[in-house]
Amino acid sequence: MASIVKKIQLLQLLRCVALGLLISSLWCLSPAIAIAETAKATFAGGCFWCMEHPFDELQGVADTTSGYMGGTVESPSYRQVSSGTTGHAEVVQVEYDPETVSYETLLDTFWHNVDPVDTQGQFCDKGSQYRSIVFYHDETQRQLAESSKQTVNQLLNQSIATEVVPADTFYPAEDYHQNYYQTHPARYRLYRFGCGRDQRLAEVWGDLSE
């Protein structure tokens, strides 16, 4: 009888150890799984206030962050970037789940929210800091971006000014720029209308936006 009790106790102990190891393994793996589920995409399309909103509306986009990329100055301020002397462009960095939303969809959203033939900037904002760019993070993104640029060129039958270049260091913009269309909706709408952004998008894309 005693031996049976000991066997039962041993089995219970082994079961507890196995369960503990399983839980521990899952806990250790979960951060890696979470990281693997998301990817980054970075786009410059003029004022970054106006670029967050269209990406935020896409299912599968986890976060958008306004910032700066493409220049030579480390940790630049908005004042420095807006002067046009740092080489940086205003960008939006998109964190997304590639299982839910494809990079092709992000590219399509980008193109339909920029004027790709503008060589001077975007809409009312002129200067290198407002140029349109696709910053690719890997070879797949580069190929898809180049292919989509060719498609846009054929669609509009005009020379495309938008650059396709490798991503480099991303510097988040100051807090007051983040989600500006939500935190300052009236100012955002006034700026967007005054800049003629939607009017120009309608001229460029028209029925092609569908």
Contact 133, 164 (CB under 8 A): yes
Active-site residue (options: 47, 50, 124, 195)? 47
pLDDT score, position 15: 63
Q: Is 47 a catalytic residue?
A: yes
Q: What is the pLDDT along the chain (210 residues), one digit of tens a residue?
A: 555 545 445 455 546 445 454 444 444 444 444 444 899 999 999 999 999 999 999 999 999 999 999 999 999 999 999 999 999 999 999 999 999 999 999 999 999 999 999 999 999 999 999 999 999 999 999 999 999 999 999 999 999 999 999 999 999 999 999 999 999 999 999 999 999 999 999 999 986 543
Contact 92, 42 (CB under 8 A): yes
pLDDT score, position 11: 52
Contact 20, 44 (CB under 8 A): no
Q: How far apart are CA 54 and CA 122, in angstroms?
A: 16
**DSSP-based three-state secondary structure for 11:** helix
Q: Which residues contact 120 (CB under 8 A, 6 or more apart)?
A: 126, 127
pLDDT score, position 12: 59
6-12 long-range CB contacts below 8 Å, 24 or more apart? none
pTM summary value: 0.81
Contact 106, 45 (CB under 8 A): no
pLDDT score, position 38: 93
Q: In angstroms, how far apart are the furthest CA atoms of the chain? A: 90
As to burial, measured by CB atoms within 10 angstroms (0-12 exposed, 13-18 middle, 19+ buried), residue 54 is middle
Note the helical H segments in the chain: 2-36, 49-56, 78-82, 103-111, 139-156, 180-183, 185-194, 197-205
| Partners of 133 in beta bridges | 44, 163
CATH number for the domain formed by residue range(s) 37-209: 3.30.1060.10
pLDDT score, position 205: 95
Q: What residue segments make up the domains of the chain, in order of their start? A: 1-36, 37-209
